[in-house]
Structure 1
Amino acid sequence: MTKTAKPYSPLGQTFGQLRLYWKQQFAASDIATAALDARLLLCAAAELDQARLIAKEHDPAPSDVADHMADYGQRRLAHEPVARILGFAEFYGLRFGVNADTLVPRPETEMLVERALVLLPKGGRFLDLGTGTGCIAISIAHESPDLAGMATDIAPGALDMATQNAQQHGVDDRLALIRSDWFAAVPAAAQFDLIISNPPYIAESERNLMNEEALRFDPAAALFAPDEGMAAFRQILLGAQNHLKPGGKLLFEFGFQQANALELAAKDAGATQVTFSKDFSGHNRMAEISYETGQKASTK
């Protein structure tokens, strides 16, 4: 249930008291990350980093800081995610802007970046399908200056955000961003050492299992897919072989209950090997897919 914080006077409140007040309000609204959220939002309201906030714990908080925090706090009580309130999220040690057309980057998706950096050869090229904020592609390019790639998304707003993030992190000269429905606008002759995707994979039948924050604030097009969440995987699997160099691989993030269906779909599309890796919770979350060297998808 959405709650509204009780009225209070900011006069005479220290930074520590202000933080504690909002922590208590968030906790009373059943927000599991109440302490962290109160600290992050107060840092943003006061334009302080966490170390400086701690140092000012006993200092009086200016009224404009209290007012900004009240605005942030009421939005959080309405269960708006902290990253959407602030307009950014941390991922792989970098800050990424987010908007209404992008998902908020999640820690488990860092698995794709880590594995990509192992698989990509020096000077390699990669393709990130459904890039959103660009967090996967930008993190790869930022980590290894010898790598270059292409990233696609069908949503113009997502591409705008990814472009800003790429420029912010200085990789825009090595990352081509194009609007495309999966492979539709990828040049036919383009070949990559690795194709990566974290596509929409939630089935409509699972909507009632999702938390309120995702349903209210995440773009539905980036969450839900037809065919019990498998539609995007099937499309990508069929097109990937035409854009992979010999020995190239495909990496997916997928739903923790989809391993069997994904393996069958991959084998049906001509894959010769499918390897799964587990996330922090012990669920199968990443698939690494190989095809026979030089094999191309059927054009039938």
Structure 2
Amino acid sequence: MDRLRPLSETDAAVQEQIQNYCAMVAKRASRVPLQQILGSQEFMGLDFFVNEHVLIPRQDTETLVELVLEEQQGKQQEEQQEKQQVQQPEEQQEKQQEQQPEEQQKKQQEQQPEEQQKKQRGQQSEEQPGKPRKLLDLCTGSGCIAISLAVKGGFESVTATDLSEEALKVAERNARTHQVPIRFFQGDLFSALPQSEEKTFDVITSNPPYIPTAVIATLEPEVREHEPMMALDGTEDGLKFYRQIAKEAGSWLKPGGSIYLEIGYDQGEAVSGLLEDAGFTNVRVVKDLPGKDRVVCGCWEQ
């Protein structure tokens, strides 16, 4: 009997595991996405909690994140180089001054305009080029874009909005998991933000709902029956949210800021036109790994 006791003591635990496994199989048989069953999806090398309230992160969306990282890090490097070029003449002048008699240095300093003296002293109050930027992510869902960029992009500040209260709970949970301080606001696109945030963002990103309503019925059951409709439905032509974003984004971007929007494979021309009509420059369509149009981006110079 003693030899059988260890097995009998584990019977309840084993039975529970079997029941859980059977429940998972039954869910999958009813076309519940595996990611929702497991409560997890990998994105940009990071693990994200997901449930029925958020769109499951896709590999296609990594194209947007990688593009932002590449271009914004490149901008910071360029600004840092410009800063160094400005500093070099000042450093040379300081070196020359060290070699001059003390009285001659004082005389030259008295002759210099006050603003130039402040510049040479390198006042800390001046904005330094190359510092990390402020990011806004619209329709954040699980937070996969905002959190990935917060973890990997070195942004000074990351803000995210979503209309769904339940989606924001998921995003906040993921932000805590990855220990990134993101500000979350509930509301429809820019209307969720306080007016004091206008003209403060360097980068805006979004993966908005973009599937035309009539197309949703043709999607796989995993998508149309189990992912949130409000994260999928872009209304009749799929462009509703792009129109609103293109129209309002300039009020929230700094001059020289950038916008990055995920799109459907056949929406590149239409979304590019919306950005150009709104005043964006250098508008481009970027393809994903399979070669399909996936991101439209542009610059705001006004």
Say which SS state the counterpart of residue 285 (structure 1) adopts: strand
State the partner residue of 1:9. none
State the partner residue of 1:246. 255
Q: Please list, as runs of the form range in 1=range in 2, the aligned pairs for 1:3-82 lying within 5 A after superposition.
A: 62-82=14-34
Please, which of 218, 221, 242 is the counterpart of residue 209 of structure 1?
Answer: 218
Q: Supply the AA of the counterpart residue of 1:264.
A: G
Please, which of 222, 232, 238 is the counterpart of residue 231 of structure 2?
Answer: 222
* Structure 1 moving runs of 4+ over 6 Å: none
| Contact 1:189/1:243 (8 A) holds in 2 | no
**Structure 1 residue 145, shift from structure 2 partner:** 4.0
Matched, 1:257 2:209: no
Matched, 1:141 2:93: no
1:126-182 Cα deviation digits (max 9, x unpaired): 0000000101001111113453210000100011111111011000x2x10111210
Q: Supply the AA of the counterpart residue of 1:156.
A: E
Question: Identity percentage over the alignment?
Answer: 37
Say which SS state the counterpart of residue 151 (structure 1) adopts: strand
State the partner residue of 1:87. 39
C-alpha distance in structure 1 between counterparts of 2:241 and 2:133, whole Å: 25
**Structure 1 residue 111, shift from structure 2 partner:** 1.3
User: What TM-score do the two structures reach when normalised by structure 2?
Assistant: 0.73
State the partner residue of 2:188. 181
State the partner residue of 1:167. 176
Q: Supply the AA of the counterpart residue of 2:226.
A: F
**Structure 1 residue 62, shift from structure 2 partner:** 4.3
Say which SS state the counterpart of residue 104 (structure 1) adopts: coil
Q: Supply the AA of the counterpart residue of 1:86.
A: L
**Structure 1 residue 188, shift from structure 2 partner:** 2.4
State the partner residue of 1:102. 54
Say which SS state the counterpart of residue 184 (structure 1) adopts: helix
C-alpha distance in structure 2 between counterparts of 1:206 and 1:87, whole Å: 27
| Contact 1:130/1:198 (8 A) holds in 2 | yes
| Contact 2:203/2:258 (8 A) holds in 1 | yes
C-alpha distance in structure 2 between counterparts of 1:145 and 1:274, whole Å: 25
State the partner residue of 1:33. none
State the partner residue of 1:115. 67
Structure number with greater CO (CA < 8 Å, separation at least 6) is 2
C-alpha distance in structure 2 between counterparts of 1:290 and 1:192, whole Å: 12
Matched, 1:282 2:234: no
Say which SS state the counterpart of residue 209 (structure 1) adopts: coil
Which runs of no fewer than 5 residues in structure 1 stay unpaired?
1-60, 296-300
1:166-209 Cα deviation digits (max 9, x unpaired): 011000x2x10111210002122321110000000000121233
Please, which of 194, 203, 213 is the counterpart of residue 203 of structure 2?
Answer: 194
> What RMSD over aligned residues (CA atoms) do the two structures have, in Å?
1.6
State the partner residue of 1:132. 141
Q: Supply the AA of the counterpart residue of 1:128.
A: D
Task: Name the structure with the higher helix share.
Answer: 2
User: What TM-score do the two structures reach when normalised by structure 1?
Assistant: 0.73
Count of aligned residue pairs for this structure pair: 231
Say which SS state the counterpart of residue 71 (structure 1) adopts: helix
C-alpha distance in structure 2 between counterparts of 1:205 and 1:82, whole Å: 26
Bigger-Rg structure (1/2): 2
C-alpha distance in structure 1 between counterparts of 2:141 and 2:155, whole Å: 23
